[in-house]
Structure formats: C-alpha cells, structure tokens
Chains A and B, each alone.
Chain A
C-alpha cells in the first residue's frame, strides 16, 4: 500500500562509498564563510600587531633560510637573489603545509562540535583552505613587493609573463594536495593516532624533497626524476620559473601533479566519507 513512499533522509549503518552530497555542502556555505571569519578574527585577537603577524612570519623564515642555506651552507639559488628565491618557495609551500597540518586534525580537533551537531563534515577542511587562502594572499603580496624591488633594481629576475595565467592553477593544485593529504591523515588517525606523530616530522621532510630550498636544476637526471615524482616539486619549480625565470617548467609534469591531486582527492573523500559515520565512537 505504501509503494510511493518518499523520505527526505534515510539514516543507514553505512554510506554508499561514492555518496558525496555536494548540495548539502552548498546549503551550508554560510557556515563555511563564518568559520573562515572565525579563524581569521580569533587567531590574532589580543595581539598588538594583529594581522601584521601574517607578514612577519614568512619574512623571518626567508631571512633564516637566506642565512642558513645561502650564507652558511652555500646552496645554489639559481643565480637569483637568495631572499627572493626563498620567498618564492616559502609562499606556496606554506600554503600547502598550513592546509595539510590544519586539516589533518579535522576530526580530533572538532570532536566536541561533531559530537553534538550534524553538518557536512567536509565544511571544516574546506573552510581551512579558504582561510589559508587569505593568509596566502597577504604573503603573496609581500613576495610581489620584494619581487618588484629586485625586478627594478637588478637584472637577475626574468619573469615569463606569458605563463602568468598558470598561477591560479598552481594555487588550486596546492590547495587540492593539502586538502587531500590532510583529510586522508585525518580519517586515518581517528582510531589509531600513530600517524599524528608523523605529520609534523613528515611535513618538514617533504619540504626538503619539494625543492623549496634546493633547486632541482643542479641535480642529475635520475635524482631530478625522483624529485619530480613528488607532485609538489613541479608546482614550486613552475612558480619560480614564472616569476624568477630560473626553475623548471614542463607541461607534462604539471599535468602529472594535477592528476595526482585529482586521484588523491577522490580516494581521500571516499575514506573520509566512510569514517565520518562512525568516528564519534572511535575518536
């Protein structure tokens, strides 16, 4: 008698593995923006310098790198001004590493909220991507200022203007990689926390394997190939190629990074979906 029963929602023991409710995420877009606002406003409350800290952090890191890798270890910067070279690497890299480390504890850090209210869980890592985008914007601005200074005073900087359009794509891939790795780690650590100990350490190692401080130009072809297997390498190299004229640019490798990101996101969203249902019992 009840053949045409319509239910808005059926709560079942398991989600279908491919079930990704994009409509629900869209419905909660206001929450996403409010979370971004919260992150931005709350971090620098009760500090005197406020958002200026966004500027100070990368500059200090670049200066440290210039001193340690440039002056002490004397690692090549592809004949670019060292500070500019390191800033170029750090700007994109720190976006990736911030996204990764912040999304990697999505479940654990938000357990108290997740335990009380339902909303699409992916909103939280997505909001991390957006709020770090603001930080990236500020850091990119400093990079541009320094870049303009060296561009107008020296001839060590030879930008490839025709490739400028690639920049949003680079940021997109970076965001996707940070997001993918982040939620993957987050899903894998709800039950067994072992992986969390590796994250901080792993990100540090990954930085050295991503040509942030060591350019791949001076490496043998074999090492270069291995370095490029890391999807981050060609992004950072491309960024340097566009703005500084050094670096390394290859469409194929860029496409490789892009596909890597796509696959990673697919796998990690599936795992995230699976964990989402039961994580409150295991976290």
Chain B
C-alpha cells in the first residue's frame, strides 16, 4: 500500500499536570536515575486517562494513548472530539511542534500546518512585509511568495492597506490577510485546526471553498473542527477521539454519527440540577425524560413506530399554571424542524405536586435520521421558563431508522398531510 502518506503507530503523549517548580526536580532526578541504570522510565507506566471532569490519582495524564491510523494520498481526514479529547495534541505532534512520548508517525511528503493564522505577524511591519515573513515561517521560499503575492493580496481583500503596519488593521483585516497567506501554501499534506472560525460569513465561505479546492487537487488534508457540518461536507474519512483514544475511525458519516450519539449518551439522572438551573428558575422541574419502547428506555425507533417519551415533572415552588413545550431539532445546525406546545394545567399547582404523562409522536411523521430534542416547562404564556432539558444537559439523540429502501421516504425531515384532489 504505497499510497499511505501518514502512518501513526501506537502514538502516546503524556503530560504532567500542575506547575513546574522545585517539586518537579525530584521527578526529573528520579527519571534520570532510572535512565542511568538502563531501566525504563517509571513514569510511563502510570498516568490516568485524560478526563478533565474527574479528579485523578496521578498528576500525569495521557493526552493521547494508543493512537493508530493511516491516511492515504488525497484523503480529507476530519478529526472530531470534545474539548480536551486530544485533537490539538495530535495535530501538534503531527506538525512537529512537540514530540510524542511513545510511538511514532511516518510521513511521506511535505507537511504544512495551520494551527493558527498569522503566526509570527509583527505588528510594526506592513502587510506586505508580513506576507513575506509569515509565508517564510510557514515554509514557503521567497520566490514562491513573490509569485503568489498578487493572488494573496487579492484573496485577502486588503489591497489598500498593504503598505500600512498591521497594527493599524481591524481584527477582521488582520485575520483575512493571515488566512490569505496560509491558503496559498502548497504542501502535499495540509493540517488545519479550526482556523475557519474567523472572519465574517462571506469570508468563511471563501475559506471553505479554498479548502475544497485544495482537497480537489488530490492533496491530503487533516482537518479539526467542531463544525460538524463543515466536517461532513469537506471530509471523506474521520476519526473520533475521546479522552485521548480513538473511538471511531473510518468513513466520515459513521464518525459524525457516532460522535453525536456518544457525546450525548447519558441519561438525565447523571445531570446535576445546578447545571440546568443556570438558564431557568426551577419552579417546576423534570424528574424524568425517557423515551420508551416495550417498557424499556430506548432512543431508537423505526419509522413505522410511534415514538413515546415518558415525562415526570415535580413542582418545587407554587406556580399559577404550567405549559409543556417540545422542539425537534436538527442536531448539526440546531434548526427547529417542528415544535409542539400545550398548556398542561391552568390551575394553581402546589409544592410537591407531581405530574406524569407521555408524549406520543405518531409513526411516519418524522423521517429517518437523527434529531435533537428540546423539552421545556413554562408558564401558560411561556414567557417564563421553569426548566429546560436538551442535548446540552446530555439528553440522548433520537434515532429514527428507515424501514424501506425508498429514497423519497427517507429524505427530508417531516411528513406533511399532503393530499391530491381531483
């Protein structure tokens, strides 16, 4: 398989938490003492899984562990994962900013990495001078930059300011110029970290277009982003990282799917109330939000099954009335596809009152696919929210599986009661 351009083998990276000070000298001395005697580094054996939220035993953590994958010529690989999953560490090692603790990476071809735009820009220098400096830092030669200079200026759209020191630029202009330089790199392998989150909408489109061009030319791109839509548009293969390990590796749709499902795969019980109550007043709260099938919790339904969600609410503070609100959203973009609202009680509710009911979404109304659900409790006018439960508090994603191969039946989001009259 000669078309493999990047091969990552057993890669691991260990970090030490806490600050460097006199305390760390003893670690270093100990490490050195083991090395002198020809023994293995004792600290490589320990180290926790990198989970930010839990207090670990050791102050050594593995930001990455046992990473194995290959990238082929022309692949556009999307790397996704939550904050702290190890994405940036992986990119840093690939771009040789920092070394791995274990394992190795084999590379064929020239790598250019874009972990940040405008690296090395000097505020006192003019736009023109900075294009050359930044280009050279990114690995271009002076002649390469010269030949692309006009293109870069054109792409950035800051022609008028090109001989002004960049410290006088607006932040938008600064970023546009910086990205323009980076976009004109021509390496065999390009590594991009979330740089698209800059500039206005028009410029972002331009950047995405440029990235598409690059991958269209058969060059290999590694791309990290939280923008799942951009990832699924641009990439053909993907890796999902979780706590420093590869969770899914393969085709991009599978990766995005598994990421969406895994990142919200906890039930309401695990979520502390304080987290939810930041946004709401908590007068009435959800005790339970549970999709059920055959009396068991299940968030996966077939297209031809009724969807049933059991809800239990409890009154914490006396309220005058209560309404229930449900929205069905696109998990990628967050757009509301459909919603539903009902006043459940127009009478006063006393403290400790409990209500249980089931929400039924009739079969064949929501098309096959994944949906994020949003449940809310409020007053009758829904001006005040009592409690909200959605994917931000780890509500699982609703999965509707297709029952036929009919392309028409499987596309779109909802079924409308459309009729034909003669």
Residue positions of A touching B, CB distance < 8 A: 2, 5-14, 27-28, 30-31, 33-35, 37-38, 41-42, 45-46, 112-119, 191-192, 277-278, 280-282
Contact = CB atoms under 8 A, between A and B. Distances in A.
Most buried by A among B16, B25, B120: B120
B119 A38 contact: no
B341 interface: no
A6 B115 CA distance: 27
A27 B104 CA distance: 25
B108 A8 contact: yes
B274 to A, nearest CB: 34
B92 interface: yes
A119 B129 CA distance: 19
B259 to A, nearest CB: 26
Given A7-B108, A9-B107, A14 B99 contact: yes
Given A8-B109, A11-B105, A38-B133, A117 B100 contact: no
Interface in B128-186: 129, 132-133, 136-139, 141-142, 165
B119 A280 contact: no
Contact of B96 (A33, A118, A191): A118
Nearest to A9: B107
Given A34-B133, A278-B98, A12 B122 contact: no
A35 B105 CA distance: 30
Contacts of B115: 115-117
Nearest to B99: A277
16 contacts: A9-B107, A11-B93, A11-B100, A13-B104, A31-B136, A35-B133, A38-B122, A41-B129, A115-B97, A117-B113, A117-B138, A117-B139, A118-B95, A119-B139, A278-B98, A281-B98
B106 A116 contact: no
A112 to B, nearest CB: 8
Interface of B: 1, 7, 15-16, 20, 24-25, 28, 92-111, 113, 115-116, 119-120, 122, 124-125, 129, 132-133, 136-139, 141-142, 165
A277 B105 CA distance: 14
A118 B113 contact: yes
A117 B15 contact: no
CB-based closest 4 A-B pairs? A277-B99, A31-B136, A118-B96, A11-B105
A280 B100 CA distance: 11
A158 to B, nearest CB: 46
Nearest to B137: A117
A6 B5 CA distance: 10
Given A31-B136, A34-B136, A277-B98, A11 B104 contact: yes
Nearest to B103: A13
B107 A8 contact: yes
A10 B104 contact: yes
B95 A117 contact: yes
Given A8-B108, A118-B96, A30 B142 contact: yes
Contacts, number: 110
A38 to B, nearest CB: 6
Contacts of A38: 122, 125, 129, 133
A73 B220 CA distance: 70
Nearest to B111: A9
Most buried by B among A14, A27, A113, A118: A118
A280 B141 contact: no
B111 A12 contact: no
Contacts of B111: 9
Given A119-B137, A277-B98, A282 B20 contact: yes
A166 B154 CA distance: 51
Contact of A11 (B96, B108, B110, B125): B96
A179 B101 CA distance: 29
Contacts of A6: 108
Given A116-B115, A277-B99, A7 B106 contact: yes
Most buried by B among A11, A13, A31: A11
A27 B120 CA distance: 18
A7 B107 contact: yes
Nearest to B11: A11
A278 to B, nearest CB: 6
B405 to A, nearest CB: 40
B119 A116 contact: yes
Given A38-B129, A117-B120, 4 more contacts: A45-B124, A116-B113, A117-B138, A191-B24
Contact of B119 (A9, A13, A41, A117): A117
B120 A192 contact: no
B66 to A, nearest CB: 15
A192 B21 CA distance: 7
A117 B28 CA distance: 28
B57 to A, nearest CB: 21
Contacts of A10: 104-107
Contacts of A34: 132-133, 136, 142
Contacts of B103: 13
Most buried by A among B94, B99, B100, B105: B99
Nearest to A33: B142
A21 to B, nearest CB: 11
Contacts of B139: 28, 117, 119
B421 to A, nearest CB: 64
B4 to A, nearest CB: 9
Nearest to A41: B125
Nearest to A7: B106
A12 B100 contact: yes
A42 B165 CA distance: 10
A166 to B, nearest CB: 34
Contact of A30 (B16, B93, B125, B141): B141
A143 B105 CA distance: 54
A41 B130 CA distance: 12
Contacts of B98: 277-278, 280-281
Contacts of B16: 281
Contact of B116 (A14, A33, A116, A280): A116
Nearest to A6: B108
A9 B95 CA distance: 11
Contacts of B28: 191
Nearest to A113: B120
